[in-house]
Chain A
Amino acid sequence: MGDAGVGSAAPGDLPMSDVDLRKASTVKVARYRSGRLWFMATVLVAALVATPVLALIWQALRGSSGLWPHLLAYVLPQAFQQTTALLVGVGVLVTLLGTSTAWLVTAYDFPGRRFLEWALLLPLAVPTYIIAYVYLDLLHPIGLVQGALRVALGFTSPHEFRLPDIRSMGGCIVLLGFVLYPYVYLTTRAMFLTQAANLVEVSRTLGSGKGGVFWRVALPLARPAIAVGVSLALMEALNDIGASEFLGVKTLTVSVYTTWVTRSDLPGAAQIALAMLSLVVALVTTERWARRRQRYWSSAQKARSFTPHRLGTVSGLLVFALGLLPVFIGFIAPASYLVVEAWKRVRFAGLSPRLLLETLNTVTLSAMATLAILLFGMIIAYTARSLPGRVTAALQRISTVGYAMPGTVVAIGILLPVAALDQMIDRAALAWLGAPTGLLLIGSGAALGYAYVARFLAIAVGSVEAGFSRIPRSFDHAARSLGHNVTATFRQIHLPLSKPSLVAAGLLVFVDCMKELPATLLLRPLNFETLATHLYGEAARGTYEEASIAALAIVLVGTLPVAILARVGRWKA
């Protein structure tokens, strides 16, 4: 890439000092006034996401450091060990499941491949807290599986025979792994489809075997995609509180929680949360640093999908069964369980009219938040591309930091500044207009939308960035040299060319907003229920059958976008 005006894709590669950047950007702004707009918008979005973190830092500073000796002695060693075990376990599992299934449906042709292509995404629709609850019930000594096993083996009571308890680290890793692998599947498959074709075929021509193609070409090529997918999955695992509560795994997130809730020590909780955040940022930075010397360029030719290898009947069926396994564990089994439980309840008590309104609330709120997140995601990713440099890279990192924090912590970080702003507006309105506005931002649900933005912007930025990275930079240069400014280039080149990844990002974000629980619980207005809060309420009350109706509704509403997502995946092909 010899174009000095636009610079390199990797910020580490052509280091620019701030002075350089200022000089460079002066030149740019003179040439492209619209570039400045993009930059300002990026600063604003980054500030929006940084605000809750700053609020937490402020909270943390208000506390004493008095709890650290106790934490260091009794809590953190254990929590750290559990967190590490969970992340390593889930990381390995999602990498294995996600990469292998993505390769199977891309490189091989077998009966049922088209079905698996999209079905492999279905577990995305199942929130971690639901999968944990369902399997806890199914695999309990008095549950369906062990009950059937006892009958088959001739035992009459769980006192005589029972399997090991699923409430363990191993159980938690497996359950989380089977609902989180689609993040890796999604990103990796897109990479296999669009990037690998030429190289795979070249390596086939040069005599590589099937294994060689996978290990030596496809896998290294897919590494950035795998890294993105795995880090999304790991953040979800790290911030999970529902599943670990059910399964008895005590991560650092649980420590944050205990400190805040049980001991009413918000500053202390903020301190732990920030320490955790620094750790995550360090890990992500290390991963990026480790592949700093690697470059991935796409050719300007239209990406082709490569011809899958046709399998025989027996091996085809075997591969199909193999690919179906994660779908079965992550979606079919829990969804069927929910259908049965929900049916029991509906037969007994009918369908609550609340459900329709709650579904509407859920869809409306999630859709609005998704649109905002997508817009912000495009701003960030496009600014990083068209005005590369340390500053934009830093802004991009900041804008994605919310995903690395537990939802409850983000929610508290948002509550503090937003409520303060609300009070200011209220007072100002009373003073100038003579009428109070009440809590405009919290009362309207805007605070909740903000929480979703802060929490899930990372997903949009990541996906959009991945989409942009498939557009050769020569396109940008051509458009610019033909006299288009930054905005026009975006509209004419990037927006149309990255549509599939925009849609994919939107759907992924939508499903995540819909499943979100802790921030929704804390920040929603009076009399406003979503499916997730309804589900939580029923579970808190212990009316699990009623809860299963809400859970099923979440899974169903989530399945729709996942199915669309799968179609989008096909356009890419």
Chain B
Amino acid sequence: MKSLSTLRLALVGGVFALAGGASAMAAELNIYTTRESGLIQPLLDAFTASSGVKVNTVFMKDGLAERVASEGESSPADILMTVDVGNLADLAEKGLTQPVVSDVLKAAVPENLRDPANNWFALSMRARVLYAAKDLDLAAFNYEDLSDPKWKGKVCIRSGQHPYNTALFADYIAHNGAEATEAWLAAVKGNLARKAGGGDRDVAKDILGGICQIGIANSYYVGLMRSGKGGEEQVAWGDAIKVVLPTFKDGGTQVNVSGAAVAKHAPNKGEAVKLLEYLVSDDAQKLYAKANFEYPVKAGAPIDPIIASFGALKVDPVPMTEIVKHRKQASELAEKVGFDN
């Protein structure tokens, strides 16, 4: 069995070689993030440069909460970073975070954009906006209008089960109640030009391709497309549309957040809080806006010109906690009307 035992040896050796690389710890900070690391890397590099703290990241998609939870007290995670208020609230609800007492964070992040118990803090905002074909005569728009029969066969949107849409539908419930939301969802479904699916950028691409005329998508994608950061092709997609900031009839534009929390068993809590405080500093907030075309959470921080060109953002006043509460119902209503079918 010579070849087999060599095999086994190689395996065991390899595993230990890998383990050696992961265990050394100095002034370090470990981030578990669902934001692609390329997005936040410039911010982290700037933090490392100013603080001397080395930052390790692992980017994952789904299961961040499950991973931290099952790693328990042994988890190396210091900071949990994610998008969507529902995901942030989930982390706190599952007891994976710890409250952070920091005057810097309190002063920088408006009350509506952080956990009442200080378990998580929003770091940036994005609005759920309307992409419309350039030649449409459309200056203002209500989310309620999406169900108007005049848009039959002209609307594009991603899956009704995507967290961005779930949050929008939950906000709709907060404004109009569950029954009206169900009817609205069914009517919007009837207006779709193609199956709900793909990504937000596909809305712009499909408008350019003549498949639909309007669609709902996130604000920052327009910056990513028009700036050329996503490649030359996407500039054409971004230029094919105009952006309208829609509002609820009795409210404002629905926004969602990206945010972070300090993990409950963070081995480097001090550094973790330092990083959070850095992320809401003027410099970092400016970088968020510049690199990712998001709205800064800190009042007075500059907005990227592409995003500023949409007009003044009037944030919907429904509290984030209220949106979180209606999330499950929103997802179920979307299933009930067969939104994605």
Residues of chain A having any CB pair with chain B under 8 Å: 70, 73-75, 78, 136, 140-142, 157-159, 162, 165, 167-168, 245-248, 250, 257-258, 260-264, 266, 344-345, 364, 368, 371-372, 375, 408, 411-412, 415-416, 419-420, 422-423, 426-427, 436-440, 442-446, 449, 487, 491, 518, 521-528, 533, 536-538, 540-546
Contacts and interface: CB of A to CB of B under 8 A. Distances in A.
A364 B37 CA distance: 23
7 contacts: A165-B194, A257-B62, A263-B328, A368-B14, A375-B4, A412-B66, A542-B225
Nearest to B28: A526
Interface stretch (B145-153, B207-215, B255-263, B306-314): B207-215
A376 B159 CA distance: 40
A386 B214 CA distance: 65
B99 interface: no
B197 A542 contact: no
A264 B67 contact: no
Contacts of B57: 526-527
Contacts of B86: 264
A247 B70 contact: no
Contacts of A427: 73-74
Given A423-B72, A525-B58, A70 B335 contact: yes
A141 B22 contact: no
A248 B196 contact: yes
User: What 8 pairs between A and B have smallest CB-CB spacing?
Assistant: A141-B209, A248-B197, A419-B70, A444-B19, A248-B195, A158-B210, A545-B231, A426-B74
Contact of A537 (B37, B166, B328): B37
Given A158-B210, A439-B76, A542-B234, 5 more contacts: A73-B336, A248-B194, A364-B14, A419-B67, A524-B58
A375 B194 contact: no
Nearest to A257: B62
Nearest to B225: A542
Interface of B is mostly: helix
Given A78-B341, A258-B161, A442 B198 contact: no
Given A408-B62, A527-B58, A344 B232 contact: yes
B300 interface: no
B27 interface: no
A24 to B, nearest CB: 26
Contact of B166 (A245, A248, A262): A262
Contacts of A542: 199, 201, 221, 224-225, 230, 234
B322 to A, nearest CB: 17
Interface in B48-73: 56-63, 65-67, 70-73
A491 B71 contact: no
Given A444-B22, A525-B22, A439 B74 contact: yes
Interface in B118-164: 159, 161-163
Contact of B67 (A364, A522, A544): A522
Interface stretch (B5-13, B104-112, B172-180, B273-281): B5-13
Nearest to A446: B15
B117 interface: no
Nearest to A73: B336
Contacts, number: 204
B75 interface: yes
Interface of A is mostly: helix
Contact of A444 (B16, B36, B205): B16
A442 B71 contact: yes
B17 to A, nearest CB: 9
A521 B231 contact: no
Contacts of A444: 15-16, 18-19, 22
B330 to A, nearest CB: 9
B335 A449 contact: no
A266 B70 CA distance: 13
Nearest to B6: A371
Contacts of B67: 415, 419, 522-523
A488 to B, nearest CB: 10
B60 A522 contact: yes
A371 B11 contact: yes
Contact of B197 (A246, A375, A419, A438): A246
Contacts of B38: 537-538, 541, 543
A543 B229 contact: yes
Contacts of A524: 58
Among A162, A266, A443, A538, max chain B CB count under 10 A is at: A443
Contact of B210 (A75, A162, A264): A162
Given A158-B209, A261-B62, A70 B332 contact: yes
A411 B70 CA distance: 12
Interface string B70-91: 1111111000000000100010
A449 B163 CA distance: 31
Contacts of B221: 542
A418 to B, nearest CB: 8
B67 to A, nearest CB: 6
A546 B1 CA distance: 46
B316 interface: no
Contact of A526 (B4, B36, B56, B225): B56
A248 B232 CA distance: 26
A482 B245 CA distance: 84
A217 B332 CA distance: 53
A536 B61 contact: yes
A437 B11 contact: no
Nearest to B199: A542
Contact of B56 (A375, A527, A537): A527
B237 to A, nearest CB: 8
Nearest to B231: A545
Contacts of A368: 10-11, 14-15
Contacts of A250: 340-341
A438 B10 contact: no
Nearest to B237: A142
Interface in B225-244: 225, 229-234, 236
B76 A438 contact: yes
Nearest to A430: B74
Interface string B21-58: 01100000010000011110000000000000000111
Contacts of A78: 338, 341
Contacts of A75: 335
A540 to B, nearest CB: 5
B74 A167 contact: no
B331 A262 contact: yes
Nearest to A416: B70
A263 B331 contact: yes
B202 to A, nearest CB: 8
B321 to A, nearest CB: 16
Nearest to A250: B340
Nearest to A368: B14
A260 B7 CA distance: 38
A542 to B, nearest CB: 5
Contacts of A442: 71
A521 B60 contact: yes
Interface in B180-220: 194-199, 201, 205-206, 208-211
Interface in B296-331: 327-328, 331
A407 to B, nearest CB: 11
A427 B263 CA distance: 19
